[in-house]
Amino acid sequence: MKQLTLDETHAALTEILSEFDRICKEHGLHYTLAYGTLLGAIRHKGFIPWDDDVDVSMPRPDYEKLYALLKSGEIVLRPHFVVAEDRGKKAEYPFLKLMDDRYTLKSRTHREVPNLYVDIFPLDGYPALPEKKRKAIHRKLVFLDFCIDMTRWYVVDAWWCYLLRVLCFWFYLPFFVYGRRRAVAKINKIAQSFPYETHEQCDCTGWGLTSDPMPRSAYDSFCEVEFEGRKFSAISTWHEQLTVRYGDYMTPPPPDKQKLTHCTKIYRNEIPD
């Protein structure tokens, strides 16, 4: 297998994003570039130069329609594209991943899904709750996310992981007893208990009840933005969202902060296209 350069990884990720965009357009599904991907589109017309992943988000109704169409076979993915489950016995995370099996992903720090992917996050309602209750739900979601993370970090075949298994066995044990799939199911249940359609604000609440939700009305209007020489969907209020999340988003961080955030290596498999 040949290891990809960062530029080659960007090209492969753009192809996965293009496949996702295709099926959304064909089936009338709304989505927006999200997080660093949206920031890269606006500030760099493509990837943030030191970024190595792609994030999109979808209102929960569109997300569930996407899932239903995939399961029914009404969406036919092009060869090599597969979806990592977000529910049931095969669940890896509480969100979908569109993967390309022509590329193998290997992490130096944790166990990942096997192939290069684009993350697809559902947007759920953000509850207008008293601060104390909101923080209690947030802590529960953070614990569940931690369960997922710990079961992945623990199994890496690195010398320090073997040491952790011995020295920190009792620390890891509760997370393994609770289980990754149970944590994924619980996160999905909590997130969907705040219906997107009936709340004035929304966010990817599966990550916790953060302090920067967006008005649900922000997802009523979409536009196209340039990304790696192509056009993809974004919410029309992208300026407001980027300002909330990043402040002065057009100013890049200092050089010492411009580092890859994912400790992964991507390889091109020796299979025909």
- Position 89 scores a pLDDT of 87
**In the block, residue with structure tokens 């709304």:** 30
- Position 173 scores a pLDDT of 79
- Position 158 scores a pLDDT of 66
User: What is the C-alpha to C-alpha distance for residues 129 and 115, in angstroms, rounded to an integer?
Assistant: 39
- Position 81 scores a pLDDT of 97
> Residue 101: is its pLDDT beyond 70?
yes
pLDDT band at 209 (very low <50, low <70, confident <90, very high): confident
User: What is the C-alpha to C-alpha distance for residues 205 and 227, in angstroms, rounded to an integer?
Assistant: 26
Length of the chain: 273
- The helix-helix angle for 131-153 and 180-192 (nearest 10°) equals 150
The b/e string for 29-67 (b: 16+ C-beta within 10 A; e otherwise) is bbbbbbbbbbbbbbbeebbbeebbbbbbbbbbebbebbb
Average pLDDT of the residues in 100-125: 90
**Least confident stretch, 19-33, 103-117, 184-198, 231-245:** 103-117
Check residue 263 and report its DSSP letter.
-
**In the block, residue with structure tokens 């290596």:** 265
Question: Average pLDDT over the chain, rounded to whole?
Answer: 90
Domain ranges of the chain: 2-268
pLDDT band at 75 (very low <50, low <70, confident <90, very high): very high
pTM: 0.92
CB 272 within 8 A of CB 116: no
- Position 77 scores a pLDDT of 96
Residue type, 126: Y
User: What is the C-alpha to C-alpha distance for residues 268 and 210, in angstroms, rounded to an integer?
Assistant: 37
Average pLDDT of the residues in 81-102: 94
